[in-house]
Structure 1
Amino acid sequence: MTRSQRRGSNKKKYIILSLIFVPLLLIAAVFTYGYLQYKSAFENSKDDSILDDEPIEFNPVEVTEEKYNVLMLGIDARGEEQSRTDTIMIAQYDEKTKDTKLVSIMRDTYVEIPGHDSNKINAAHAIGGVELLRKTIEHNFGVDLHYYAIVDFQSFSKVVDVAFPDGVEIDVEKDMSKGIDHALTAGKQTLNGAELLDYVRFRQDSESDFGRVRRQQEVLKVLSNEFSELNTVVKLPKIMGTAMPYIKTNMENSLLIKIGPSVLFENKSEMESLRIPMDGTFTDERYDHAGLVLATDIETNKTAIQEFLGE
């Protein structure tokens, strides 16, 4: 073999090695960057969460299809105020269609609590934790739950600020100031995380909790659409690292990583939502043991929620 032939052979080897190792180095750099972003954000958030490390009893049914029903509980603590389960939602993710559906259950919905007297559905969590709430939802509405996620509301504002440092545009429906930390003016506003949290917290008007639940669903749809406009998942490690200390769940990390990008970055402009009880299916009542409740037509709402989730 001549010297020129050997040089040509060596050049080909260098080209082949470059084609193999350069992509590997780029992939390694991306994963390293993502890990460092996640770790830094996690460390910055972990000391602020009110969630403890106590184990939670939850005995879900086995997942038998590509749909996951997640019981989402929002814990709201402000100042010295005791934490409470202010928000009860069921989020369903369909892995096949990439669709997400959202059911909000009013916390004052009057239901049968297995092994206990009838009461507000929120009382099920106060009496027996997440597992009794799971049983109560299954008993009254026939919905199987596969996972739970308890979310400290502090994460909401932090995640919004990380994902959207320039704020999120919301059409504020009215002037709002009572019972929240930031006064909001009616009209289209660009809100930061803390202001957006106040918008979904507000309930000092004639709609009370009904308006709060409606705004929660509205904002989740807006945020979902905003996430879908992001052209890259570069922010995802930092977003996840910021949020994880504020979330307590039985979902495996592998499942979160699997469905997280689809939930965040698929366009959800048509995300469906349902509120329980539905309009016209309840009356306001007061009972000595429970106080003011929403006396609900359980069977009508059971049929509606099962049809909505395809149970």
Structure 2
Amino acid sequence: MAKEKKKKKGRLIAILLLEVFILAVLVVVFKMNNMMNKIQYNDEDDEYIQQNEEVEVVTGYRNIAIFGVDSRDNALDKDTHSDTIIIASIDNQTKDVKLASVYRDTYVNIPGEGYNKINAAYFKGGYSLALSTLNTNFDLDIKEYVTVNFQAVVNVVDMLGGIELDIQENELKYLNGYVRELNRINGTNVSGLKSAGTQVVNGTQATAYARIRYTKGGDFKRTERQRIVITKIFNKIKSSDLSTINGVIDELFPQIQTNLKSTELLMLAKDVMSYDIVDQTGFPFEKDAHTYKKVSYVFPINLQDNVSKLHEFLYNEVGYVPSNTVQEYSSYVEGIRAQ
């Protein structure tokens, strides 16, 4: 009888613990859903996203386009240039992440608009035209996007207690110049850096570093700096406590627009500790920057070869043969580049 009571008590404790666990999970899910509601959800133009018909969907990977805009009034839709364009490719099995920055001045064919700088696509038609431009020029099948107001980077880095960057001598004066500019914009009084070298920088200094484009390498080097800052922030978040992460979410989420549903975001969030940014690059790989009709562009040197290399980088797909559409664009761009 005593043994039966003990068993019954054990079962009751187990049930009670299970109920407490379920309640805790529900609280976390409820809290996360509340956080997700702060994001500007926008999928109204999904039906207009184009891709080349002959391109097969690559399985085993999830590709998300990240658009970074500098919008002081938090306008994340059209009428703002996407000065940062990053393709994030996630290997669903290994959770490895690769980042490919597309140079904002890259000369491409914007569907229905003609040839222009790729950052004009977001300005003219929002996320759907920007995704269509990536897909049709580079044989991709990206349907998901995240647009971020990079003014939020300042506060996020500060919340994380800063990030460590290796500042080169030739970057120092430009970084401090951008710090002064950001102070004027944000009404702050953040000091510049006194010397180069590896050091912990605050949000204003990190954002200033990501904006440098006047050293050797110009905009190509600038996109590399942006990927470094993103990687540093990502790794710092992974090692932060829950309270800090909540603060970052509260700051960042209202300045994000995406067509990812809250359930999809929750699925991505639950695996965040498993993700590793394993490689990063700029695109096009082979390029030629010069003016055409008094406008500065980045011309891919042989677009179809660049697209083949991009598929190898993103999907480990060796020997990819670009579509007829890309080959046609490639021939046209080569003709313009030669002028």
**Range into which the TM-score falls when normalised by the shorter chain:** 0.7 to 0.9
For each residue in 1:44-64, what CA deviation from the matched residue of structure 2 results, as whole angstroms up to 9, or x when unmatched? Answer: xx5xx9x79794455367966
Superposed displacement of residue 203, structure 1: 2.7
| Cα distance between partner residues in 2 of 1:116 and 1:207 | 29
Q: Would you say 1:273 and 2:283 are equivalent positions?
A: no
- Note if contact 1:38-1:241 (Cα within 8 Å) is conserved in structure 2: no
- Note if contact 2:224-2:281 (Cα within 8 Å) is conserved in structure 1: no
Superposed displacement of residue 196, structure 1: 2.0
Which residue number in structure 2 is paired with residue 197 of structure 1?
207
For structure 1, the 5+ residue unaligned runs are none
- Note if contact 2:165-2:199 (Cα within 8 Å) is conserved in structure 1: yes
Which of residues 254, 273, 280 in structure 1 aligns to 2:263? 254
- Note if contact 1:70-1:92 (Cα within 8 Å) is conserved in structure 2: yes
| Cα distance between partner residues in 2 of 1:16 and 1:90 | 51
For each residue in 1:123-169, what CA deviation from the matched residue of structure 2 results, as whole angstroms up to 9, or x when unmatched? Answer: 2222222222222222221111121111111333333344x2x3222
SS in 1 for 2:276: coil
Superposed displacement of residue 243, structure 1: 2.7
SS in 2 for 1:203: coil
Kindly tell me: are residues 80 and 197 of structure 1, through their superposed partners in 2, closer, same or farther at Cα, counting changes over 3 Å? same
| Equivalent runs, 1:74-153 vs 2, <5 Å | 74-78=68-72, 83-153=80-150
Q: Which amino acid aligns with 1:67?
A: Y
Moved more, 205-214 or 292-301: 205-214
- Note if contact 2:107-2:118 (Cα within 8 Å) is conserved in structure 1: yes
| Cα distance between partner residues in 1 of 2:313 and 2:43 | 34
Which residue number in structure 1 is paired with residue 314 of structure 2?
309
| Cα distance between partner residues in 2 of 1:216 and 1:97 | 24
For each residue in 1:189-211, what CA deviation from the matched residue of structure 2 results, as whole angstroms up to 9, or x when unmatched? Answer: 21233332222123344443222
Q: Which amino acid aligns with 2:309?
A: A
For each residue in 1:241-262, what CA deviation from the matched residue of structure 2 results, as whole angstroms up to 9, or x when unmatched? Answer: 4432221111122222112243
- Note if contact 1:224-1:268 (Cα within 8 Å) is conserved in structure 2: no
What is the Cα-based RMSD across aligned positions, in Å?
3.3
Moved more, 172-181 or 298-307: 172-181
How many matched pairs? 292
Identity of aligned residues (%): 29
| Cα distance between partner residues in 1 of 2:117 and 2:257 | 24
Kindly tell me: are residues 158 and 146 of structure 1, through their superposed partners in 2, closer, same or farther at Cα, counting changes over 3 Å? same
Moved more, 139-148 or 28-37: 28-37
| Cα distance between partner residues in 1 of 2:265 and 2:50 | 17
Superposed displacement of residue 239, structure 1: 4.1
Which residue number in structure 1 is paired with residue 65 of structure 2?
71
Which residue number in structure 2 is paired with residue 292 of structure 1?
296
Scaled by the length of structure 1, the TM-score of the pair is 0.79
Scaled by the length of structure 2, the TM-score of the pair is 0.73
